[in-house]
Every structure is written in C-alpha cells, then in structure tokens.
Amino acid sequence: MKQPLPCIFLLAVLLLGPVAFSREESSVETWLKSGNQKYLHGDYDGAIADFTEAIHFYPNLAEPYCNRAAAREKKGDHDGAIADSTEAIHIAPTFAAAYFNRGVAREHKGDHAGAIADCTEALRIDPSLAEAYHTRGIARENKGDRQGAIADFTAAIRIDLKHVEAYYNRGVARARQGDLKGAIADYTEAIALNPKYAEAYSNRSVAREQKGDHDGAIADCTEAIRINPKFSVAYYNRANSRNEKGDHDGAIADYTEAIRLDPKYAEAYYNRGVARERKGDRQGAAADYDEAIRLKPKLGR
C-alpha cells in the first residue's frame, strides 16, 4: 500500500500594530492604520497601497516596510516581501519582526538555511516570538533536522500553549521519526484546540493505521470528510484503512471519490488497483496500475 507522508505547513507573518507618532508623522499613522485594517480583512492590494503611501510620507520608518512585506507575502510575492523586510532591517537593524517576516518569505521560496538564519536572529532580539520558533522548526524539518524541528515546535508551545499549528507540525515531525504515540498525542491536542482541523484528523488517522488501529483511522477520516467533503487525502487514507480491514468495496468507493476530487492522484489509482486485484478484478487493476504509472512513473519501480 502506498502511504502518504503527513504534510507540514502553515506559516504566519507578523503585522505590526499602531506605534507612537509625533504630530508631523500623523499622515503615516493614518495610512498604517488603514493598511492594517485592510490587511486584517484580506484586502492585501489595498493594504499594500496604503503602506506604500506611508512610505512616501516617511521613507525612513521601518514599520510600513515591514507591514508591506507581510501583505506582499500573503499575495505570494516572496521576492517583494524579502526586499521590503530587508529595507526595514536596513533602517532598524534590531527589528525582530522584519527578520521574522523575511524568514517566512525565504522559507516559502525554499531557502531553508536563510529562513533559519533570519528566525534565529529574530529570536536573538526577541526570545518570546513563538512564531519564529515555529517557522524555524518548519525550516529545520524541511532541511532534515528533525530533532531541531521538534525542539523548536516544543519551544513555540512553551511560549504559547494554544499554538495549534505547532502541535500539528510537531505531530508531523514525530510521525516521520516513527514516534506514533507522540504524533497521535500532538494531533489530538491540535484537534482539542481546533475541533474543525480536518488535516489533524487525517494525519492522526495515518498514525493510527500504522499502529494497526483500522477502526480508529476510519473514524478519523470520516470526521475529516465531514468537516471538509472535498478533502481527497482523507478519502484516500480511509480507503487504505478499509483495504487493510478487507473491505475492498468500501476502499474502491473511497479511492474513486479521491480520484474524482483529484484526477491526478496517482497513489489513489495505484491502491485502487491493489483493491481491485484483491477482489479478483485483474483487468480493472491493470488499468489502474497503468494510469498510476502514467501519472507518476516512479510508482512502477
């Protein structure tokens, strides 16, 4: 059976709140407040425009650059976010939030070493930044430093006991390390903090399945699907558990739904082929194997 790796994700950027301004800087304050409100309501283009106006009025202030970086990052403009964060750091070399936001953008670009360096500097300046530990943990996990990642997620949790993503991502790291009991505990805590966290249910199902708890895995996937009926991975994971329980018809139905939701889901084709072969449908199995290999040739090796 082709089992998925639990995914690690969720990075935040920091948006700075109001700062103290002198009378001549009141226009900057107005634009910053307006930009912050637009950012918080998801109007990132409007926020960028307002932060740009603030920079026009007061180009030597770091905060507008830092906040524009956050808005650009939300739009996926990693290079723009890095440039703005770098300018904020140039203006204010001890600006922890600017280092952090640049670290987030670098991580999203795949520059794990750069992200680690920036988050480390942010933490040197402000050791209370839970998000910097969290982001550095993600970068370390993506670089293969699992122990460092777990240590950083744990530090984030120590600062913020309700940091849902830190519990979730520590669960991912623990699962990849083979610590299924620890992973299940972390996913369970993430679910307790956010009962609608479909990904946590789905990942917990994988850990439970690996421990041989087919029924628990199926229940978790069913809940993930209830929360998000378009969650193809949850259908796939439930299908795997049903296949292992011998419910090949149920497994085939779930793989089929996963494929309907994601027509390029090669692993779903492959495992549906396994289920069909176990039912004696060799022709259907062969067709599924062929499609899986066409979509992802590595599956044929």
CB 201 within 8 A of CB 224: yes
Domains of the chain plus CATH, in order, are 27-127 (1.25.40.10)
CB 153 within 8 A of CB 169: yes
1 secondary structure, DSSP code? -
Query: Residue 300: its pLDDT value, please?
Result: 72
pLDDT per position as a tens digit, 7-48: 333 355 555 544 433 444 567 788 888 999 999 999 999 999
Rounded distance, CA 44 to CA 27, Å? 20
Instruction: Provide the pLDDT confidence category of residue 1 given band limits of 50, 70 and 90.
Output: low
Query: Residue 187: its pLDDT value, please?
Result: 97
Q: What is the mean pLDDT of the chain?
A: 91
Rounded distance, CA 42 to CA 158, Å? 30
Rounded distance, CA 62 to CA 64, Å? 6
pLDDT per position as a tens digit, 58-108: 899 999 999 999 999 999 999 999 999 999 999 999 999 999 999 999 999
- The H helix count followed by the E strand count for the chain is 16, 0
pLDDT per position as a tens digit, 177-229: 999 999 999 999 999 999 999 999 999 999 999 999 999 999 999 999 999 99
Query: Residue 301: its pLDDT value, please?
Result: 62
Rounded distance, CA 213 to CA 141, Å? 27
